[in-house]
Amino acid sequence: MAENVFIIKFEEESKSYQTFSELKQMHATKQIVGEQMGVILNDADAGIQIKDFLDFTGTDKTARGSIIGALVGIIGGPLGILLGWMGGTFIGATGDAREIKNAMNVFEQVTSFIAHGQTGVILIAREEDFETIQNYAYELGGQVVRLNGDYVRDQIKQAQLAQFELERDARKRWKDRNK
């Protein structure tokens, strides 16, 4: 099953929660086949937060251990903060930083699509469900971005590796300075 990550946004917060509820029902009636879904808020002060989460697979994953949790965690974690603080032009100045910046494409898309103060829905579902999801969102006045699921997973892995390497390098520099 080819999966996609759908990011759906609305101007009104209540429509995100309505969409979460109705997509859950659409999955139950086999109109779509979802894997995971979450309502996210891009809070100007606290960053991206998961407000509600559902794992359709029944594996009892929490939001934290999910693809959506990893996506949100990287955006709000040290790597996301570092990139937001330093800015794209400065980051692009070195080869290692360029790799990190490339790995941030997915994360930048999420944060630029769901602006500060907005709430949206992230849904992992089949490619075949795109038209159903898009039509539903448009009826409510929403917008949809579709990302290839394999691409998102790859970007998450790259960002996690980059974050691990940054943390390792920072610990080494800290130890070297405090000898």
- pLDDT tens digits for range 82-131: 444 334 433 344 444 444 444 446 666 677 778 888 899 989 899 999 99
Q: Is the pTM of this model over 0.75?
A: no
- pLDDT tens digits for range 9-55: 998 999 999 999 999 999 999 999 998 888 988 887 877 788 888 88
How many Å apart are CA 104 and CA 138, to the nearest integer? 28
How many Å apart are CA 175 and CA 161, to the nearest integer? 21
- Give the pLDDT confidence score for residue 89 in this predicted structure: 38
How many Å apart are CA 123 and CA 125, to the nearest integer? 6
DSSP 41-63: EEETTTEEEEEEEEETTSS---S
Does residue 151 or residue 86 have the better pLDDT? 151
Q: Which residues contact 16 (CB under 8 A, 6 or more apart)?
A: 8, 9, 10, 39, 119, 120, 121
